[in-house]
Chain A
Amino acid sequence: MVDLKNTDVALIMGSNAAENHPVSFRWLDRARQDRGAKIIHVDPRFTRTSAKADVYAPLRSGTDIAFLGGMIKYILENKLYHEAYVANYTNATFLIKEGFSFNDGIFSGYDPDKRAYDVSSWDYETDAEGSPVKDMTMTHPRSVLQLLKKHYSRYDIDTVCSITGTPKNKYMQVLETFCSTGAQDKTGTILYAMGITQHTVGSQNIRAFAIVQLLLGNMGRPGGGINALRGENNVQGATDMALLYHIIPGYITSPSNAPEHKDLTAFLTKETTKGYRSNTPKWVTSLLKAWWGDAATKNNDFGYHYLPKRDSKKNYSHIAMFEAMHKGEIDGLFVMGTNPVVGGPNANKEQEALCNLKWMVQADLWLNETADFWTYQAWERAVHNDKVDRKTPADIGTEVFFLPACAVFEKEGTAAQTGRWVQFRWKGAEPVGDSKADLWIVDQIATRVRKLYQGSTKPQDEPIVNLNWDYGHGHEPDIMKVALELNGYYLADNKPVPSFAKLMDDGTTACGCWVYCGCMGLTPTGELDYKPMHRDNKDNSKHGLGLFSNWAWSWPVNRRIVYNRCSVQPDGITPWPGDEKRALIQWDATAVGDPATGKLGKWVGDDVPDFNVTLAPEEPGGKNPFIMRPEGVGCIFAAKTSMKDGPFPEHYEPWESPTTNKINSQQNNPCVKVWEPDKQGNSKDFPYVATTYRVVEHWQTGALTRNLPWLSELMPDMFVEISEELAKEKNIKNGRKVIVSTSRGDISAVACVTKRLKPMNINGEIVHMVGAIWQFGFKGFATGDIANRLTPHIGCANSMCPEYKAFLCDIRRA
Chain B
Amino acid sequence: MAYMTNLYDSSKCTACRGCMIACKDWNQLPAVMEPFKGNYSTHEDTNGDTFTIIKFMEEEDPVDGVRWNFLKYNCFHCFDPACMQVCPRQAYSKTEWGATIHDPDKCIGCQYCTYACPFHIPKYRKREDKIAKCTLCADRVSEGLTPACARTCPANALKFGDRAELLAEAEERVKFLRANGFPRATIYGKLELGGLNKLYILTDTPDKFGLPIDPHIPKQIPFWQDWVQPWLGWLIPLAIAGSATSFVTTRILANKHAGHEEHGAHVEGGHE
Of A311-319, A368-376, A586-594, A745-753, the segment with at least 4 beta carbons within 8 Å of chain B is A745-753
- Determine whether B18 belongs to the interface, using a CB cutoff of 8 Å to chain A: yes
**Across the two chains, which residue of chain A brings its CB closest to B24?**
A710
Query: Does A685 have its Cβ within 8 Å of any Cβ on chain B?
Result: no
B70 within 8 A of A: yes
- Contact indicator B156/A29 (Cβ below 8 Å): yes
Contact of B181 among A23, A54, A696 (CB under 8 A): A54
A719 within 8 Å of B by Cβ? yes
Contact among B12, B38, B156 with A750 in the assembled complex (CB-CB below 8 Å): B38
By the criterion CB–CB under 8 Å, are B155 and A781 in contact? no
Cα-based distance from A422 to B155 in the complex (angstroms): 23
Q: Does B20 lie at the interface of the complex (its beta carbon under 8 Å from any beta carbon of A)?
A: yes
Pairwise interchain contact B155-A716, C-beta atoms closer than 8 A? no
Q: Which residues does chain A contribute within 8 Å of B65, judged by CB atoms?
A: 56
Least CB separation from B12: chain A residue: A29
Assuming A48-B68, A711-B21, is B36 touching A696 (CB within 8 A)? Answer: no
In the complex, what distance in Å separates the CA atom of A753 from the CA atom of B25? 32
Q: Shortest distance in angstroms between A70's beta carbon and chain B's nearest beta carbon?
A: 21
Shortest beta-carbon distance from A23 to chain B in Å: 5
A755 in the interface (beta carbon within 8 A): yes
Tell yes or no: B35 within 8 A of A by CB. yes
Which one, B14, B25, B67, B154, contacts A48 given CB within 8 A?
B14
Of residues A33, A49, A714, A782, which shows the largest number of chain B Cβ atoms within 10 Å of its Cβ?
A714
Interchain CB contact under 8 A, B42 and A714 = yes
Chain B residues in 8 Å Cβ range of A26: 154-156
Does A659 reach chain B (CB closer than 8 Å)?
Answer: no
Cβ of B260 under 8 Å from chain A: no
Asked whether B168 is an interface residue with its Cβ less than 8 Å from the other chain, the reply is no
Q: Could you tell me if B60 and A755 are in contact, using CB atoms closer than 8 angstroms?
A: yes
Closest CB in chain B relative to A128 CB, distance in Å: 58
Contact between A51 and B67, CB atoms less than 8 A apart: yes
Which residues of the partner chain A approach B12 to less than 8 Å between Cβ atoms?
25, 29, 52
Whether a CB of chain B sits under 8 angstroms from the CB of A472 is: no
A48 / chain B contacts, CB cutoff of 8 Å: 14-16, 68, 70
Tell which of B26-34, B96-104, B192-200 binds the partner: B26-34
Query: Residue B17 at the A interface, CB < 8 A?
Result: yes
Contacting residues, chain B, for A36 (C-beta < 8 A): 180
Evaluate contact between A716 and B66: CB separation under 8 angstroms: no
CA distance A695 to B14 in the complex (A): 12
Query: Within A737-795, which residues are at the interface with B (CB < 8 Å)?
Result: 750-756, 758, 781-782
Chain B residues within 8 Å of A412, by CB: none
Within 8 A of A (CB), among B42-71: 42, 58-60, 65-70
Min distance, Cβ B65 to any Cβ of chain A, angstroms: 8
Residue of B nearest to A756 (CB): B66
- Of A18, A710, A715, which contacts B14 at CB under 8 A? A18
Residues from chain B with a CB closer than 8 A to the CB of A781 are 31, 33
| A19 adjacent to B14 (CB under 8 Å) | yes
Pick the contact of A710: B21, B40, B68, B176 (CB < 8 A): B21
A754 to B32 CA separation, bound complex (whole angstroms): 25
Asked if A717 and B36 make an inter-chain contact with CB atoms under 8 angstroms apart, the answer reads yes
How far apart sit A710 and B38, CA to CA, in the bound complex (Å)?
A: 19
Task: Give the distance in Å from the alpha carbon of A781 to the alpha carbon of B34 in the complex.
Answer: 11
Instruction: Encode B64-83 as 1/0 by CB contact (under 8 A) with A.
Output: 01111110000000000000
Given contacts A22-B14, A29-B156, A711-B21, contact A751 B42 (CB under 8 A): no
- One of A710, A719, A754 near B36 (C-beta < 8 A): A719
Q: Does A735 contact B (CB under 8 A)?
A: yes
Taking a contact as CB atoms under 8 Å apart, the answer to whether B17 and A696 are in contact is yes
Which A residues lie within 8 Å of B30 (CB)?
Answer: 709
- Report if A462 contacts B (CB, 8 A): no
B68 touches A25 (CB 8 A): no
Using A51-B70, A781-B33 as known contacts, say yes or no to A713 and B38 having CB atoms under 8 A apart: no
B266: CB under 8 A from chain A? no
User: Are B36 and A715 in touch, CB under 8 angstroms?
Assistant: yes
Task: Please classify how large the interface on chain A is, using the bins under 10, 10 to 19, 20 to 34, 35 or more.
Answer: 35 or more
Residue of B nearest to A55 (CB): B181
Instruction: Check A713/B32 contact, CB under 8 A, given A22-B16, A29-B155.
Output: yes
Residue pair A782, B14 in contact (C-beta under 8 Å):
no
- Which parts of A660-711 form the interface with B (CB within 8 Å)? 695-697, 709-711
- Count of inter-chain pairs, beta carbons less than 8 A: 108
Residues of A within 8 A of B154 (CB): 22-23, 25-26
Contacts of A56 in B (CB 8 A): 65
Render A21-37 as a binary contact track against B, CB cut-off 8 A, 1 for contact. Answer: 01101100100110010
A440 part of interface (Cβ distance < 8 Å): no
How many Å lie between the Cα of A116 and that of B24 in the bound state?
Answer: 56
- The answer to whether A735 touches B155, judged by C-beta atoms less than 8 angstroms apart, is no
Would B42 and A734 count as touching, CB distance under 8 A?
no
B31 touches A712 (CB 8 A): yes
Asked whether, in the complex, the Cβ of B31 is within 8 Å of the Cβ of A756, the reply is no
A46 at interface (Cβ–Cβ under 8 A)?
yes
CA distance A710 to B176 in the complex (A): 36
The answer to whether B271 has its CB under 8 Å from any CB of chain A is no
- Which residue of A is nearest B70, CB measured? A51
Name the CB-closest residue of B to A696.
B16
Q: Mark B4-23, 1 if CB is under 8 A from A, else 0.
A: 00000001101111101100
Chain B residue contacts of A753, Cβ below 8 A:
38
A22, A36, A695 pick with most chain B CB within 10 angstroms: A22
Quick check: is A50 within 8 A (CB to CB) of the other chain? yes
Complex contacts, B219 vs chain A, CB 8 Å: none
| Interface check B126, CB cutoff 8 A | no
Distance to closest chain B CB from A387 (angstroms): 29
Chain A residues closer than 8 Å to B17, beta-carbon distance = 696-697, 714
Are A709's CB and B31's CB within 8 A? yes
A393–chain B nearest beta-carbon distance, Å: 28
User: Using Cβ atoms and an 8 Å threshold, which residues of chain A touch B18?
Assistant: 22
Contact B155 A22 (CB under 8 A): yes
| Cα–Cα, bound, A50→B15 (Å) | 12
- Complex contacts, A710 vs chain B, CB 8 Å: 20-21, 24-25, 31
A782 near B33: Cβ-Cβ < 8 Å: yes
Q: Is B263 an interface residue (CB 8 A)?
A: no
Q: Identify which of B11, B24, B38, B156 contacts A752 (C-beta below 8 A).
A: B38
The residue from B20, B67, B181 contacting A714, defined by CB atoms under 8 A apart: B20
* Docked CA distance A56–B65 (Å): 10
A36 CA / B155 CA spacing, docked (Å): 18
Cα A672 to Cα B252 with chains together (Å): 82
B37 in contact (CB, < 8 A) = yes
Distance, CA A33 to CA B176, complexed state (A)? 8
In the assembled complex, which residues on chain A have CB atoms less than 8 Å from the CB atom of B176?
33
| CB <8 Å contact, A717 and B67 | no
Partner of A25, one of B14, B31, B34: B14
Contact residues in B for A23 (Cβ distance below 8 Å): 154
Q: Which of B32, B38, B58 contacts A735 (CB 8 A)?
A: B38
User: A686 to nearest B CB, angstroms?
Assistant: 24
**Residue of A19, A52, A695, A782 with most partner-chain B CB within 10 A:** A52
Q: Are B42 and A715 in contact (CB under 8 A)?
A: yes
Q: In the complex the two chains form, is A713's CB within 8 Å of B31's CB?
A: yes
Q: How far is the CB of B98 from the nearest CB of chain A, in Å?
A: 27
* Complex interface bits, A176-216 against B, C-beta within 8 A gives 1, otherwise 0: 00000000000000000000000000000000000000000
Query: In the complex, which residue of chain A has the Cβ closest to the Cβ of B157?
Result: A29
Contact indicator B38/A716 (Cβ below 8 Å): no
Residues 32-46 of A at the B interface (beta carbon under 8 Å): 32-33, 36, 46
The 6 closest A-B pairs by CB, nearest first: A735-B38, A709-B31, A717-B36, A734-B38, A18-B14, A713-B31
A-B contact pairs, 6 of them (CB 8 A): A26-B155, A50-B68, A52-B11, A714-B20, A719-B38, A756-B66
Chain A residues engaging chain B, CB cutoff 8 angstroms:
18-19, 22-23, 25-26, 29, 32-33, 36, 46, 48-52, 54, 56, 695-697, 709-717, 719, 734-735, 750-756, 758, 781-782
Can you name 17 extra interface pairs (CB under 8 A) apart from A48-B15, A51-B14, A758-B66?
A22-B18, A25-B12, A25-B14, A51-B67, A51-B69, A52-B11, A52-B14, A696-B15, A713-B32, A719-B36, A734-B38, A735-B38, A750-B35, A752-B40, A755-B66, A756-B68, A781-B33
